[in-house]
Structure 1
Amino acid sequence: MLAHTSGLADENSLAGTAMATTVQVYYILNSSAPFRTHTGLLRKAHCFRSKNGWFFTSEESSFPEAQNLLLQYSCDDEDFLYAAACAQKASPAVRLAYQEIIKARGLEADFKEVCESRDAVIIDYLEFLKKEWSIFPEKYDRVHQHLHGKRNTGELREGLYDLRDCLRIITNNIETEIDQHPEHWRKALSATHSLAPADCLGRMEVLSRLFLKYKETIAPFDSLSWLIFLEERYRNELAEIEAKLTSFRERQNPSISILTETPTLYQSLLHLSLILLGSDTAIVRTVREDPVRVVSWQHADWERKCERADKFSDDDYEGLALALQDFSCFGNLQLTGALLKSQLKALMARLRALAHEIVGPIPTKDDRFSVTANIMTLCSSIGIFAITPLDDELHHKGDYAVILTESPLYRGKDITIDGTKDELNRILAYLELQCDPQKTWMHPMIGWL
């Protein structure tokens, strides 16, 4: 299936691209990695242990035995491709670091094959999870009926223990299923697996002990509140499994996926507006109705707002700088109208390059601006502001898929939670990385979960 080649890449041919991203992929052979190194590697943002060694990503290596794979490629191709395929929840910077090496080594076809194999394994695993959870409703309903009806302590105790044992079986079967797969896919399956079964089991263990201790003195409504939580957790878990299955099946049939298309400038701005507005409290969002208003904008509305931003005067930029300078993400900058104008032009150019709307050189962005500051800069140009500053966990957002379906920009598109997160991460990558977006190679199979 794969070419199992090892050896050193030509350092001269790769040195020019080694710093294309701030994050690099490093490799340490098992034979040269002492135990202290193993412990340190586990703290890295993305770490993968193959049969021959360790892969990890970092801006710089603190391990003298580590090799920068873009400069010195001495690992097995198959090991490397498994590591790249399992970088499922890493930041765009991590994924792009792997992509650079894949492109430099000419491994695109092999990588696609590995990703397809990975997706098939995960689809089977998600179907297995659905089947395991199918025994839960009957056990749950039995306990629920006992609490609602005339209480029979013996039958209630039996029902509680039966539900607890059901969750024990589900949890154990999931662990067994993961262990039955090859080691290189266990990390991917563990990342796909949620904490819902263990969470539900833990609560049932506590509830069972409470009932055993207090018997009939435990109030029915106390037990009901615990059970209602279990039901909500179960329903959310099923919904998440279905969403993931849809996402992976879309990848197998890319003609129906929004991920086969590069987001337009207006779609990118819509994503950024929604996560910025989502940083405010619920009451602020409800009263202001901004998400509803923004998502209803037609293509012509976006066009008009972007054209207006293109015509801002120097005084307009000074006014925007004055409005933004008090936010903490701009605290390290002496924000002026001229600086804001330069950054906004560069950011807009990057999003247009992502959408393939422009070709040729683009202005260099100022990397003193954080990704949060970049988002606020872009959104301010179209009249979108937030009261509460954004946090740093941007890559875990993207839970606004339902809102996105209401936008005319996505009419006729099949939108999922995972698809929304992946599209957002592609957009954020162009706001974070120092590399030229027009030279950034994006492989359609790398973005998942």
Structure 2
Amino acid sequence: MRLLALSPYVLFTAMAASPGAILNIPFSIPLFTPAAENVAQLKYVVAHFMVGNTYPYGVEDWKKDIVLAMGHGIDAFALNVGREDWQRERVQDAYTAAAGTDFRLFMSLDMTSIPCGSPADAEPIQHYIKTYYHHPNQFRYNGLPMISTFAGEGCLFGTGSPNEGWTSAIKGIGGMPLTFIPSFFLDPAKFVDFTVMDGAFSWNSGWPMANIAANFEMDEQYIRGLGGRTYMAAVSPWFFTHYGIDSWNKNWIFRTDDWHLCRRWELLIENRARVGIVEIVTWNDYGESHYIGPIAGDQPNSQAWVNGFDHQGWLPLIQYYIHAFKTGEYPTIVKDQVFMWGRLYPKGADASDHVPKPNNWQWAEDNIYVVVLLTGRADVTLKCGPTKHEVTLGPGLSKLKIQPTETCQATVTISRLGVIVVDHNPPGHRFTTGPPSYNFNAFVSSS
């Protein structure tokens, strides 16, 4: 989510002590400050950021997110921008907030929103490129400012093919060469026709596209199709969206059980020699429930399944994996810690909800998932009502799960020689057999 490259990020800065930042890191990471210029042999981890959810944001709001992301090993935000004019102002605020830090930003053009049929449609895109090309906080890869997309594989910009269109739109700007790593939803075998691409981002690699465990098959297809160009992989902790036919008509889950977040990171770490960048999907896409940052700004009418379901408890665990991806070595654990997540309601229970159960609901499992980081041998107990799992574990990272059968409060304890050293009892993690709605979002906590 290794080779012996140094970790290209600053773990802490003076800013990182700001209120609200989750910085209680249970492992030791050596401090390393990257050079001003990014170099391709280093590994990077970025996070997809929905600018469309930042209408009320100011510079200080951006600073809070940047400090939090930096404090957990994230190098940059991929700023998902659409066609709305006000988003330009929020992007400007983001670059202002990043000034003076080692944090980077780059555009991820949302081509489901931005038109791309005529030559004139390239002008707003070129505006972004020209405005931030020389900005000190512009993310650079292979020595050049980077730009990405969400979709856009059919864009012509008034030319005869998408390859010509993108070449004219973003690589025809004199004196401003770019690294272009888009997320085109194409058969990777067709990448050979897109010479404009310097690499590709596989958005859908973040989750299994069927009722199977995470694997590296889609990544393999992309890597083969790229023929040596840069591969940017996705990692995502969850997926649930619940819009009815009276809204966006998006109502489904992807399979994210069996500690999916961990397994995806572990696959990327095993194959890190072939992955240049990992993009976390996402920092703040509340509508699809895969946010890892704070619930802030504007929500896209997702309050019914997002409010009360903070996901920041995943951040220190993600940082543990980020360090391993970047350096090739897992960090030394210096503090016992618990991470716990899961759905709060049984998948098969009926609820009073004007939107029906999400598609693929049968794929879900009614488990409570736990990851423990242990400094040494310890007794661990995971419990919810009469259902519990007791085990003695050695030092390192271990995974546990239980499947509760009745309404109960989830708890985890770590003890040594009969003395409890961690008692994790998050008040919000109450499994309830009678759901008020079809909410398949994850409740996340960490000790």
User: TM-score, normalised on structure 1?
Assistant: 0.25
- The structure with the greater share of residues assigned to strand is 2
With a CA cutoff of 8 Å and minimum separation of 6, indicate the structure with the bigger relative contact order: 1
- The structure with the greater share of residues assigned to helix is 1
